[in-house]
Amino acid sequence: MSVSSDFSAVRADFPILGVDLDGRSPAYLDNAATTQKPRQVLDAIHDYYTTANSNVGRSVHTLSMRATERYESARGRVAEFLGAADKDEVVFTRGTTDSINMVAEGFGRQVVGSGDEVLISGMEHHSNLLPWRRLCERVGATLRVVPIDEHGELTPEAFTAQITERTKLIAVAHVSNVQGTVNPVREITAEAHRHGIPVVVDGAQAVAHRPVDVQELGADFYCFSSHKMYGPMGVGVLYGRAELLERMQPINVGGGIVRHVTYDGPNKYYKAPHLFESGTPNIADAVGLAAAIDYLEGIGREQVAAHDLALAERAAAGLRALDGVTVFGAQRPQGGIVSFGVEGLHPYDVGNHLNTYGIAVRTGVHCAVPFIDSLGLTIGTTRASFGVYNTAEEVDLLLEAVSTVEKGFWSNEHPNDRSLA
Ligand code: PMP
């Protein structure tokens, strides 16, 4: 697959790509950690603050009604983006981690009890592991981990084999943040639903890189962060099927979620999504997220998927051809992520060296220590992850830089450092 030149105009939308890094310009290949933000998103946030800023749902004045209208239309935009049946199935959160914790504590506690089991995959980010582990510890349930195969992939059969009559919830990443593996979510949800088990999908690494339709996937809950899809920091989404959100309890209570309150009598709560958004929401960034969706869809989600994959394929093939370099994961990349190791070198040394070329990559254990350990990669990997503004020239620069890396401080002094887990 070749890298489309139609994307060359995209770079001009991202002011940060023109920044001077001590004489170099950034080759930003750390998109799985966070993406850069296009002018269109920055402008939408600026426009909100300069023409509509107020609090939502609180007052009758024009600015408050404007803010409410923009916030609620952002919700509608997210619902369309995800193929949700209704905009009230979209809860704004602080991000993926926040969304998953809300489901674990607010919904998990309703359906998982003593002696029950929660199933996750063996490739989860800590944010889709620790909330489930804590839930299990709190209610006396068992966390079961579905093993990955020898290629670091997850098969539907491996999932099915672990389902028992005690399984009450399944949580799985749509796309792995370590290797970019795309998991068979549709098959997993189909099997889970045959047993009446709800499935929570961590979509943090999926939404920016491939079309996602929650109904087609059969996801009962779907979680993602705006900042990984060209939107602002500090806002994210919890999609939940309406009948499941009805069973979910709010973790945070306070203003904005009740119609009527007494000191000791029953309160009259609003329904989803407002029940889960107590306090003043992050209105401007929800508006920014809607602008990011417009931006992605303006390019075309299929086109974005093909572009990111073509860059990953070019990188994986080029890295494999270098002496002493191992590319982890499937033989051909499945998403926009390539994780690799250089023999005898600590990933931090690789990252430091690449930084001297202006190349930004993520190094270390990627908040997925049990997965990294299961692959036998104790010191972690170097991860290049691609987005809409990346080019074939940047991939070639990466290859050139990797081919000249040498042992450095970390390889010699801290061969096992994992302090950034
Ligand atoms: N899950 C996956 C697969 C991720 O890659 C990340 C971010 N690295 C998260 C969850 C957590 O996202 P956030 O930090 O935005 O909450």
Of the listed 44, 91, 367, 384, which one is catalytic?
Answer: 367
Q: Is the CB of 207 under 6 A from ligand 1?
A: no
- The reply to whether 307 and 237 lie within a common domain is no
Q: Which helix (H) or strand (E) holds 99?
A: helix 96-103
| Alpha carbon of 234 to ligand 1 centroid (Å) | 12
For the cut 50, the answer to whether the pLDDT of residue 421 exceeds it is no
Dihedral (Cα; 8, 11, 13, 17), 10-degree rounding: -170
Total tally of structural domains belonging to the chain? 2
- The reply to whether 80 and 209 lie within a common domain is yes
Q: Is the CB of 179 under 6 A from ligand 1?
A: no
Atom of ligand 1 nearest to the CA of 124: 3
- The reply to whether 203 and 260 lie within a common domain is yes
Mutate to test the pocket of ligand 1, among 31, 96, 129, 178 (most ligand atoms within 8 A of CB): 96
Q: How many CB atoms lie within 10 A of CB 78?
A: 24
Q: Is residue 2 part of a domain?
A: no
Domain end among 253, 277, 297: 297
223: annotated active-site residue: no
Cβ(266)–Cβ(51) under 8 Å? no
- The reply to whether 367 and 277 lie within a common domain is no
Q: What pLDDT was estimated at residue 7?
A: 84
Nearest alpha carbon, ligand 1 atom 4: 204
CATH of the domain at 362: 3.90.1150.10
Give the distance, in angstroms, between the CA of residue 104 and the centroid of all CA atoms in the same chain: 17
Domain residue limits at 242? 43-297
| Alpha carbon of 99 to ligand 1 centroid (Å) | 10
Atom of ligand 1 nearest to the CA of 175: 3
Q: Is residue 163 part of a domain?
A: yes
Domain end among 268, 297, 326: 297
Cβ(390)–Cβ(36) under 8 Å? no
Q: Is residue 105 part of a domain?
A: yes
**192-239 confidence digits (pLDDT tens):** 999 999 999 999 999 999 999 999 999 999 999 999 999 999 999 999
- The reply to whether 121 and 266 lie within a common domain is yes
- The reply to whether 66 and 137 lie within a common domain is yes
Domain end among 274, 297, 320: 297
Q: Is residue 18 part of a domain?
A: yes
- Can you tell me the mean pLDDT for 94-117? 98
- The reply to whether 78 and 26 lie within a common domain is no
Report the range of poorest mean pLDDT among 133-137, 208-212, 411-415: 411-415
CATH of the domain at 269: 3.40.640.10
For the cut 60, the answer to whether the pLDDT of residue 420 exceeds it is no
Q: Is the CB of 205 under 6 A from ligand 1?
A: yes
Position 101 confidence tier, pLDDT thresholds 50, 70, 90 = very high
Output the pTM of the full model.
0.95
Cα–Cα distance for residue pair 99/222, rounded to 1 Å? 9
Q: What pLDDT was estimated at residue 418?
A: 53
Q: Which helix (H) or strand (E) holds 142?
A: strand 142-146
Nearest alpha carbon, ligand 1 atom 12: 96
Q: Is residue 275 part of a domain?
A: yes
Cα–Cα distance for residue pair 214/85, rounded to 1 Å? 9
Atom of ligand 1 nearest to the CA of 176: 3
- The reply to whether 220 and 309 lie within a common domain is no
**71-80 confidence digits (pLDDT tens):** 999 999 999 9
